Amino acid sequence: MHSRQHEIASALKVCRPFEGPASVQAEIDRRIGFLQDCLRQSGMKTLVLGISGGVDSTTAGLLAQRAVEGMRAAGEGDDYRFIAVRLPYQVQRDEDEAQMAVDTIKPDECHTVNIGAAVQGLARATEALDSLDERKRDFVLGNTKARMRMVAQYTIANARQGLVIGTDHAAEAVMGFFTKFGDGACDVAPLTGLVKRQVRDLAAALGAPERLVKKVPTADLEELEPGKPDEAAHGVRYEDIDDFLQGFEVPEAAARTIMETYDRSEHKRQMPIAPV
């Protein structure tokens, strides 16, 4: 198992455990610098990110806002901006926490695009959905919501010389817990390699409220199971996922679940298949 842990951790560029506040700050600075370099090298002026109210998007948003503020303060240009995007599907159940995240980040701009009408319109026009049972249809449309949110973010980014930020990190990547060409699509992924507890560490150090730092993670895409915790979908705790990725001992059943899920979801972490 140890060799497999190392193999997977290496493939996902997992970060070493933090050794204290100084190493957390160093990681924050490194990732802010990464976002700034991405803007400089691309010639783009804007970072765009959907804000859900969870700790991942809150953390990425705080990094993005600090990145553009730093570039403006350094005299690199007053036109560097961060745009936070609220993307509710009709009425969001945890809207108060999403607004708390926006208030914490203090983005240069905040746009709202309600994806409800777009998703419903596509569903009505898609004959392939008609034969599905209620549960399967709900699952498929959950992925459609994630993809529609990314369409909205890219529309804003295209209009504003922007790069779209993704929130994927190692603890989600190992489980394939993202929608292909949905939340898995982005231009820059500043949380890459972090395990879930490290994302929380960065969020806390960046000043996020404890309520968001400790919030139970949920994709909240399916209407039949609103607010379903990620861990219920994984079948394993984030604590065990984090420990597995960082080379610590985990229960055999948890390790088996993680490795099997990693292998089964490999296609989601690859570029499109092409002929050799």
Q: Give me the residue spans of the domains in the chain.
A: 21-234
Residues 6+ apart with CB under 8 A from 247: 2, 5, 6, 9
One of 172, 240, 242, 243 is an active-site residue; which one? 172
What is the pLDDT, as a whole number, of residue 4? 93
Taking the C-alpha atoms of residue 81 and residue 67, their distance in angstroms, rounded to an integer, is: 9
Q: How many residues are present in the chain?
A: 276
> CB–CB of 93/69 below 8 Å?
no
Confidence of residue 276 (pLDDT cuts 50, 70, 90): confident
Q: What is the pLDDT of residues 180-228, one digit of tens each?
A: 999 999 999 999 999 999 999 999 999 999 999 999 988 888 888 888 8
The answer to whether 172 is a known catalytic residue is: yes
Residue 1, pLDDT > 70, answer no
Report the distance separating Cα 184 and Cα 189, nearest Å: 9
100 has a pLDDT exceeding 70: yes
Mean pLDDT of 30-58: 97
Tens digit of pLDDT for each residue in 111-135?
Answer: 999 999 999 999 999 999 999 999 9
Annotated catalytic residue: which of 56, 97, 220, 230? 56
For 90-107, what is the mean pLDDT?
Answer: 93
State yes or no: is 109 an active-site residue: no
**pLDDT of 97 over the 90 cut:** yes
Q: What is the mean pLDDT of the chain?
A: 95
Q: What percent of the chain clears pLDDT 70, i.e. is strictly above it?
A: 100
% pLDDT > 90, the chain:
89
Domain 21-234 sits in CATH at 3.40.50.620
